[in-house]
C-alpha cells in the first residue's frame, strides 16, 4: 500500500508537468511542422526552396559563426570570473554571485538598447575616444557583426559563468595542493590537475550558450540593424513582412533540427571524453 501511494504521488507530480509540456510546446511545434509540409503546397517544396536559397545559407552561416564566437568569448571571460569567485573572493562571494545573477533581472531589450547608447556614432564609447584624441571620426561599432558579438557576449555571459562556477565550487583544493607539494609549479598544477576537473562545467556552459545563441533574436536585430541577418530574424521577416508561413516554418524546422544535431554531437563528445578519462 505505501508503494502504491508513492506511485500515485509520483504521477500526480509528473502528469501536470507533462500536460503543460504537451499543450504549450509539443502541440505548437507539431503545428509548425505541419505548416512547413503543407503550405503553400503539400510536400517538400519549402525545404527545396530553403536548400536552394543563397540567402538562407548565408543566414545559417552567420548564425553559427556568431553563436560559436559568442560561446568562445563567454567561456574565456566566464572562466576567469568563475575562477576568481570560487578561489579568491571568500568574503565577497555572495556579492559577486549577486552581480552575476543581476542581469537576469533586467530585460534583454533594455540591455540591448543600452549597448546602442554605448556603441552608437554619438555614443559614449566614440565620444570618449574622440575626447581622448585617439580617433578623429566615429568608429563603426554598430550595425555590423562586431556590435552584435559584443552585445551577445554581454547577454550570454551569465549562462557561461554559472555552470562553471557550480562545477568549480565542488572541486577540492587538496588535489592542487598535493600536486604543488610534489614539485609541480603553479601553472602545471592548474593545467594538469585543476583545469581537467573543470571541463564538465566548461562543456555545460558552452552548450548552453551556443544553443541559446542559435535562436537569439532581440540583440542581433537591434545591434545588427538588418545587416547581420541571423536565422531567427530571417524567419521573422518571412512571416511578418512577406507572410510566407511555409518557408518561415521550414526555416524553424531547419533550426530545430540543427540544434538537435548540436545536442547529439555534444552528448556524444561528452560520453567519449568520459570514457577516455575512465581509461586513464
**pLDDT, position 268:** 73
Please give the residue that has the higher pLDDT: either 242 or 161: 161
**pLDDT, position 276:** 44
The H-assigned helical ranges of 89-214 are 93-101, 108-119, 124-131, 145-168, 174-181, 186-189, 195-197, 199-214
Confidence category of residue 271, pLDDT binned at 50, 70, 90: low
The residue among 151, 158, 164 whose CA lies nearest residue 102 is 158
Q: What is the DSSP string of 202-231?
A: HHHHHHHHHHHHHT--HHHHHHHTTSS--H
pLDDT tens sequence across 188-206: 888 888 888 898 889 889 9
Q: At what angle do helices 54-88 and 93-101 cross, to 10 degrees?
A: 160
Is pLDDT of 152 > 90?
Answer: yes
Please report the domains of the chain, with CATH numbers, ordered by start residue: 1-38 (no CATH), 53-279 (1.10.3720.10)
Lowest-pLDDT range of 113-127, 223-237, 259-273: 259-273
Using an 8 Å Cβ cutoff, are 108 and 216 in contact? no
Confidence category of residue 210, pLDDT binned at 50, 70, 90: very high
| Averaged pLDDT, 79-92 | 84
Percent of the chain with pLDDT over 90: 19
**pLDDT, position 149:** 94
Amino acid at each position: 500500500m505505501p508503494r502504491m501511494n508513492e506511485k500515485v504521488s509520483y504521477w500526480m507530480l509528473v502528469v501536470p508537468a507533462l500536460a503543460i509540456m504537451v499543450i504549450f510546446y509539443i502541440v505548437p511545434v507539431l503545428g509548425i511542422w505541419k505548416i512547413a509540409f503543407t503550405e503553400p503546397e503539400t510536400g517538400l517544396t519549402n525545404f527545396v526552396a530553403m536548400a536552394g536559397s543563397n540567402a538562407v545559407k548565408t543566414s545559417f552561416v552567420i548564425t553559427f559563426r556568431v553563436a560559436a564566437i559568442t560561446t568562445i568569448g563567454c567561456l574565456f571571460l566566464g572562466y576567469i570570473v568563475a575562477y576568481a569567485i570560487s578561489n579568491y573572493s571568500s568574503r565577497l562571494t555572495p556579492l559577486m554571485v549577486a552581480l552575476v545573477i543581476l542581469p537576469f533581472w533586467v530585460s534583454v531589450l533594455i540591455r540591448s538598447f543600452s549597448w546602442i547608447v554605448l556603441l552608437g556614432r554619438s555614443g559614449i564609447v566614440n565620444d570618449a575616444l574622440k575626447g581622448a584624441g585617439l580617433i578623429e571620426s566615429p568608429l563603426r561599432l554598430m550595425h555590423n557583426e562586431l556590435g552584435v558579438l559584443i552585445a551577445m557576449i554581454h547577454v550570454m555571459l551569465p549562462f557561461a559563468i554559472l555552470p562553471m562556477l557550480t562545477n568549480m565550487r565542488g572541486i577540492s583544493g587538496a588535489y592542487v595542493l598535493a600536486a604543488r607539494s610534489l614539485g609541480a609549479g603553479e601553472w602545471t598544477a592548474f593545467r594538469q590537475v585543476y583545469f581537467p576537473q573543470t571541463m564538465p562545467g566548461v562543456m555545460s556552459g558552452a552548450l548552453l550558450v551556443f544553443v541559446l545563441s542559435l535562436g537569439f533574436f532581440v540583440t542581433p536585430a537591434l545591434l545588427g540593424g538588418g545587416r547581420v541577418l541571423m536565422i531567427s530574424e530571417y524567419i521573422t521577416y518571412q512571416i511578418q513582412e512577406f507572410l510566407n508561413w511555409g518557408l518561415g516554418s521550414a526555416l524553424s524546422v531547419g533550426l530545430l533540427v540543427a540544434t538537435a544535431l548540436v545536442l547529439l554531437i555534444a552528448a556524444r563528445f561528452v560520453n567519449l571524453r568520459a570514457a577516455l578519462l575512465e581509461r586513464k
